Structure 1
Amino acid sequence: MEILIAEDDMISRKLLTTALKQFGHSVKAFDNGADAWAEFDVAPVRVIVSDWLMPGLDGLDFCRRVRKRMSTEYTYFILLTANAQGKDSYMEAMNAGIDDFLTKPLDRDQICMRLRVAERILRYTSAIQHLESMLPICSYCKKVRDDNNYWQQVETYLSNRMGTSFSHSVCPTCYTNKVKPEIDKIKKG
């Protein structure tokens, strides 16, 4: 996997980078959240390991930005902390979108296990996104089935899901094959 690291402590960053590379992962490491975010915004990755407390953009704000970024595959976000945090802090982190926590100093076995879980979750997330992107559509009437097993016109379905508006027209092929014969019938008739 390609993993993005945001860690302001040079020794922790080097230890983490070395461990991840030894596990066979590709790593991009940054010494602050702002630079890590700038990289992610240009080239999103599926896994981020970020320190919680960093000057400027901390781990929680970095995660919030990742979660708000549109049209991005799900990113598994692991937060590193050196201090034991209280229940409220962990709840704030979970509300920001954090998936997992690791404490410093880094335990190689723990990061390895967390990354195996991340791989599994990302695989399932991709499968679910693929299934959700498929539209069950009737091959006869072209109605679409929604999540409540209700069949509706494609236009209604898309309008309800995406706020899309439609203007209707007739393509040249349908005009020639369907509309023109009807007009000719009316003129003859």
Structure 2
Amino acid sequence: MNILIAEDDMISRNLLKTTLKQFGHTVKVFSNGAEAWEEYDNNPYRVIVSDWLMPEMDGLDFCRKVRQRHSTEYTYFILLTANVQQGNETYIEAMNAGIDDFMTKPLDRDLIWMRLKVAERILRYTTEISNLESMLPICSYCKNVRDDNNYWQQVETYLNNRTGTVFSHSVCPRCYETKVKPQLEEL
């Protein structure tokens, strides 16, 4: 996997980078959330491992920006913290920001390996769900489309309701030859 790391502590950053590379991942490393966000905004990653407390932009603000970015595949976000004694309110705030998982420092190789296995599984599922949601059920006979409420309607109506697209109608050359022209010849 391609993994983006945001960690301001040089020793933790290098340890995390080395560990993830040993696991076979491609890693891009930044020393603060602002730099990491700039990279992510230009080139989204599917997995982020970020420190909670960093200069310029902390891990929660970084995660909020990731979650607000539209038209991006789901990103699994792991938050690192050195403070094990944080209260439930703090973790609830992190969950509300969109954090998927937590890890405490110092880095535990086995735990990060397990967390990344979970991330791979979650990302595979989100991709499968996205693919299923993008399928459009269409009748083989009348070409009507079924919407989310199990209502069948013309393709034009369905697309207009969802995208605002307006259609003009015409006849393709094949249909002209096979449908229209024979009718005109009968006249």
Is the contact made by 2:156 and 2:167 (CA closer than 8 Å) also made in structure 1? no
Gap runs ≥5 in structure 1: none
Asked whether 1:21 is paired with 2:29, we answer no
How do residues 60-71 of structure 1 correspond to structure 2 at under 5 angstroms? 60-71=60-71
Task: Tell me the amino acid that sits aligned with residue 19 of structure 1.
Answer: T
**Using the alignment, how far apart are the partners of 1:59 and 1:28 within structure 2?**
16
Shift of 1:21: 0.8
Identity of aligned residues (%): 72
How do residues 72-111 of structure 1 correspond to structure 2 at under 5 angstroms? 72-83=72-83, 84-111=85-112
**Using the alignment, how far apart are the partners of 2:61 and 2:180 within structure 1?**
57
1:88-111 alpha-carbon deviations (Å, 9 max, x no partner): 111111111110011111111111
**Using the alignment, how far apart are the partners of 1:168 and 1:110 within structure 2?**
58
User: TM-score, normalising length from structure 1?
Assistant: 0.89
User: TM-score, normalising length from structure 2?
Assistant: 0.90
Name the Cα RMSD after superposition.
1.8
**Using the alignment, how far apart are the partners of 2:74 and 2:34 within structure 1?**
20
Secondary structure, counterpart of 1:118 in structure 2: helix
How many matched pairs?
A: 185
Gap runs ≥5 in structure 2: none
**Using the alignment, how far apart are the partners of 1:175 and 1:64 within structure 2?**
54
**Using the alignment, how far apart are the partners of 1:13 and 1:92 within structure 2?**
24
Asked whether 1:164 is paired with 2:164, we answer yes
Q: Which residue of 2 aligns with 1:144?
A: 145
Q: Which residue of 1 aligns with 2:2?
A: 2
Q: Which residue of 2 aligns with 1:45?
A: 45
Shift of 1:168: 2.1
Q: Which structure 1 residue ranges, 4+ long, deviate > 6 Å from structure 2?
A: none
